[in-house]
Amino acid sequence: MAESLNREMTHSSTEIDVQFAAVTLCTLSGKALVEGLNFEVRRGETLVLLGRSGSGKTTTLKLINRLLAPTDGEVLVGDIPTTHWDAIRLRRSIGYVIQEIGLFPHFTVQRNIGLVPQLEHWPEERIRARVRELLELVGLPPEQFAPRLPHELSGGQRQRVGVARALAADPPILLMDEPFGALDPITRSELQREFARLAAGLHKTIVFVTHDVREALLLGSRIGLFKDGHLIEMQTPDEFAHSQVPEAKAFIDSMGRL
Amino acid sequence: MGLIDFLIRNRAEALALVLQHLFLVASGTGAGICIGIPIGIFLTRKPGLSKLVLGMANVLQTIPSLALFGFLIPLLGTHGIGQVPAVIALFIYSLLPIIQNTFTGIRGVEPAVREAALGMGMTDWQILVQVELPLSLSVILAGVRVATVISVGTATIAAAIGAGGLGTYIFRGLRMNDNQLILAGALPAALMALAADFMLGRLESILKFHRSSGKNPSRKWVPALVMVGIILIGFLTLSRVTRIPPIHRIVVGSKDFTEQVILGELIARQIERRTGLDVERRFELGGDLCHRALLAGEIDIYVEYTGTAFAAILKHQPIADPGAVYVQVKREYLERFGLVWLAPLGFNNTFAILVRGDEAQRLSLRKISDISRYAPRWRAGFGQDFMSRPDGYPGFSRTYDLKFVEPPREMDLSLTYRALANGQVDVIAGNSTDGAIELLGLVALQDDRQYFPPYQAAPVVRKGIVERYPQVAGALNSLGGTVSDHEMRRLNYQVDSEHRDVKQVVNEFLEGK
């Protein structure tokens, strides 16, 4: 699946992996969760969606792997609207890391990471090799960690496994929903720095949701600022740091106070 | 020690009853698992329906088991008695705990885990099988455990519809005033419930996911265990199926009291002795099941009483002439049901109005009309049969002008003897041939106004059997007139009070003829 998306993207004329075209999502009662979203995610960039709780950034993320479908407008992944994709195929070609990690508590680390390859019927040996490779990539010695269960890991280790799992089938796109949000500050900044290094070597298209402005400035090649379901700004970290938009200034100021 | 003695002496029967009981529980609960878990899963996909479905299961759960058996009899036709309705009833009772626990177990899986599974591109089926079911297994199993324990208890009542199991001892014990026999059924059933509770509880705690213990629960043997369970159920089912009677068997039924079991055995033995045909015994069927089973072709013969047939089945006003009753019953049965009455066995089992011996002496009671002046201070206890039959309580109380201090208590016939002996009631309506009359020192009052119609006992046979096996009718007719009132009471006494084996008692009787 991942290969197929790669292929389609190679054939596509643009350098754009994900595109939002006038996307609106309303609840059944008519309340807009996100409204009028127009932006694109370019190949290989790390787009950070920044905003307060409830600003619509997680909703935006879930529109990409079709955990949600737009009420209006279209989300294009590899030039194809998500609603035209087979949902299962789409999701298997997009890595997904969420804040609560969602590791399967009854699977070992090995099985958690190897899940999508297993669903894709990779040969056993190839899965094992891939899991070993990924555990080394995220800095967990495979012999020691592969047989463990999630509850035998620390929070930081669990989060590393979560990232490894999302990368397992080598998907071109990675969605990350506040992946480091639940960690203690020291572990968090450790992982952030490590992830920045990792991301630079991976050449993945990454959409990263956070409410931590430092994280946004550290990881993002561009930062999209969300407020009340609207995307109010989209710019590079440098531009963002000097933005005159009140919401952006509020975020920058909050950093100063810390 | 008496109990253990009894169980050792009757180990073959006791073991058979335990196996029957296990079979009932395993099939009922097994079906509950096979149907209940999918329903529970379905509800997690359509939670809007959960209130309705769980509500329905809840209502089914509250139906008393005997009432449920009553509903099932007409619905199932030829399968209305025996193990089929018992298994269905147990299945129905097992549904609620299994559906409920499956539903809440799966709904209890952490939302983040479900979202991760969905986001990784697992299909609904994969999420169910690989994530939701493993994580909710211990909760589901807790439901199975509850269902099993309920089922072990409820299955004892299945003996009332001829399904066998440990309830057979309990009902027999109640009939024969034999606490030991009651215990012989109740104790193994209780132990079975405890054992099931314990084993499933262990399994549950092994399967429970230990977040804190740091142990990886070994799952390897779980599929093995499930396999063993399936094989066991399969084996039990097979062993039942292979025991389905071949065509040439004559199926003899009996109602659920001692005399009927003796008479059933008497007929069965006589057929075996005289014709060499194979006989299957389906004894101890409650209520009017015998009649229905005979009509349905599920049994071929049982012993009926003319008075019962005349009033309760043919719905005629009771009359007093025994000969006239027999002739009319014989004619109408043949015309209406295609059933043949053979020669009456001899005795007349009519209702006997009974009081305690000491009371009879103290108040010098001999006839039923003697009690009318005491009745306003007395309590009466009557079997369901007596209360509901046209020749029972309503006419009786009118004829003798009886009014008791409170409406008569309606209870199981076998319990009325005890209630009378223990002074909980002061008058009951027993059977004139009952061995318990002598055993408990009760006195039968004379029916001085000739209210009770005759109840001559005679075998009733399906016409097809008489035509196909005329030798059966011949063998049974030769028993005509051989069992006097006194003889019947003596046989009942031997079984009820001396706790002798029915087969042995019947063999002795036949050899003495």
| Contact between B214 and A88 using a beta-carbon 8 Å cutoff | no
Q: Tokens representing B418? A: 């005890």
Q: Enumerate the H helices of chain A as residue ranges.
A: 2-11, 57-64, 87-92, 109-113, 115-119, 124-137, 142-145, 155-167, 185-202, 213-219, 237-241, 246-257
Task: Please identify, among B185, B207, B241, the residue that sits at the C-terminal boundary of a domain.
Answer: B241
Shared-domain flag, residues B410 and B422: yes
In degrees rounded to 5, what are phi and psi of residue B254? Answer: -155, 155
Of A109-113, A251-255, B34-38, least confident by mean pLDDT is A251-255
End-to-end CA distance of chain A: 44
* Closest partner CB to B120 (pick from A101, A115, A147): A115
**pLDDT at position A10:** 46
- Residue contact B117–A116, C-beta within 8 A: no
CATH number at residue B206: 1.10.3720.10
Q: B interface toward A at CB cutoff 8 Å?
A: 110, 112-123, 126, 130-131, 134-135, 209, 211-212, 214, 216
Residue of A137, A141, A162, A145 lying closest to A110 (CA atoms): A145
B442 beta partners: B356
Q: Measured between beta carbons, which residues in chain A are less than 8 angstroms from residue B130?
A: 104
Give the closest-approach CA distance of B127 to chain A in angstroms.
11
The H or E element spanning position A174 is strand A173-177
Q: Do B58 and B147 fall within a single domain?
A: yes
Identify whether residues B315 and B423 lie together within a single domain. no
pLDDT score, position A241: 86
Cβ within 8 Å, pair A98-B212: no
Which CATH number goes with the domain that contains B408?
3.40.190.120
DSSP label at residue B289: H
Residue A28: list chain B partners with CB under 8 A.
Answer: none
Beta bridge partner(s), residue B264: none
Collect all residues of chain A within an 8 Å Cβ-Cβ radius of residue B121. 1, 87-93, 116, 119
pLDDT confidence of residue B74:
67
Q: In this structure, what are the phi and psi dihedrals at residue A23, rounded to the nearest 5 degrees?
A: -90, 130
Q: Which of B420, B445, B470 is the last residue of a domain?
A: B445
Q: How many CB atoms neighbour CB B390 within 10 A?
A: 15
Q: Determine contact: A102 vs chain B, CB below 8 A.
A: yes
pLDDT for position B238: 52
Per-residue pLDDT of chain B (513 residues; tens, 9 = 90+): 578 888 888 888 888 889 989 999 999 999 999 999 999 999 999 888 888 988 888 888 888 877 787 777 667 765 666 788 889 889 999 999 999 999 999 999 988 899 899 998 999 999 999 999 989 988 999 999 999 999 999 898 888 777 888 988 888 787 666 778 888 888 899 998 888 888 888 887 877 654 434 344 445 566 666 666 766 666 555 555 444 444 468 899 998 888 999 999 999 999 988 888 888 888 888 767 888 888 888 889 999 999 889 888 888 887 888 888 999 999 999 999 999 999 999 998 888 899 999 999 999 999 999 998 898 999 998 887 788 777 788 889 888 988 888 888 888 887 888 889 888 899 999 888 887 887 788 888 988 888 888 889 999 999 989 988 889 999 999 999 999 887 898 898 888 878 888 999 999 999 887
Asked if B188 and B224 sit in the same domain, the reply is yes
B98, with CB counted inside 10 A (0-12, 13-18, 19+), is buried
> Using CB atoms, which residue from B115, B121, B126 is nearest to A98?
B115
Tell me how far the alpha carbon of residue B320 is from its chain's centroid.
33
The gap from C-alpha A189 to its chain's centroid, in whole angstroms, comes to 18
Contact (CB, 8 A) for B294 and B340: no
Question: Is A104 in CB contact (< 8 Å) with chain B?
Answer: yes
| Nearest one of B491, B492, B493, B495 to B509, comparing CA atoms | B491
N-to-C CA span, chain B: 37
Sign of the dihedral defined by the CA atoms of residues A177, A179, A182, A184, in that order: negative
Shortest Cα distance, chain A CAs vs residue B108, angstroms:
14
Question: How far is B220 from chain A, CA to nearest CA, in Å?
Answer: 14
Going by the DSSP 8-state scheme, the letter that residue B211 receives in this structure is T
- From chain A, the residues in CB contact with B132 under 8 A are none
Angle in degrees, CA B465, B471, B472, rounded to 5: 50
Say yes or no: B68 and B178 in one domain. Answer: yes
- Search chain A and give the residue with CA nearest B116: A102
- Of B416, B445, B474, the residue at which a domain comes to its end is B445
pLDDT band (50, 70, 90) for residue A156: confident
**Which residues of B fall within a CB distance of 8 Å from A92?**
120-121
Best residue in A89, A104, A108 to probe B by mutation, most B CBs within 10 Å? A104
pLDDT of residue B78: 59
Range of the domain at B99: 2-241
Instruction: Tell whether B117 and B213 lie within a shared domain.
Output: yes
Q: Which residues of B touch A165 (CB under 8 A)?
A: 120
Mark whether B68 and B198 lie in a shared domain. yes
| Per-position DSSP letters for A84-142, written without gaps between them | GS-HHHHHHTEEEE-TT----TTS-HHHHHTHHHHHTT--HHHHHHHHHHHHHHTT--H
Looking at the fold, whether B219 and B202 belong to one and the same domain comes out as yes
Q: Do B214 and A152 touch (CB under 8 A)?
A: yes
Residues B463 and B317 in one domain: yes
Number of domains in chain B: 3
| Strands across the sheet containing A94-97 | A94-97, A173-177, A205-210, A46-51, A222-227, A230-235
Using DSSP's 3-state secondary structure scheme, residue A227 falls into: strand
Residues B322, B462: one domain?
A: yes
Contact B476, B343 (CB under 8 A): yes
Find, among A246, A225, A250, A228, the residue nearest to A237 by Cα. Answer: A225
Other CB atoms within 10 A of residue B127 CB: 18
Domain boundaries, chain A: 101-170
Kindly state whether residues B312 and B424 are assigned to the same domain: no
Q: In what order do the strands lie in the sheet with B409-411?
A: B409-411, B380-383, B427-431, B351-356, B442-445
Closest chain B residue to the Cα of A99, Cα to Cα: B112
Facing A119 at nearest CB: one of B116, B121, B211: B121
Is A257's Cβ below 8 Å from some Cβ in B? no
Q: Nearest CA to CA, how far is A215 from chain B (Å)?
A: 23
Q: Are A199 and A219 in contact (CB under 8 A)?
A: yes
Pair B83, B102 in one domain? yes
More confident residue, A11 or B358: B358
In chain A, whose CA is at the least distance from the CA of B131?
Answer: A104
Say whether A89 and B214 touch across the interface (CB within 8 A). Answer: no
pLDDT band (50, 70, 90) for residue A176: very high
Dihedral sign from CA coordinates of A137, A141, A143, A149 = negative
Per-residue pLDDT tens for A43-60?
989 999 999 888 999 999
Contact B112 A102 (CB under 8 A): yes
Most B CBs within 10 Å, among A106, A154, A159, to test the B interface: A106
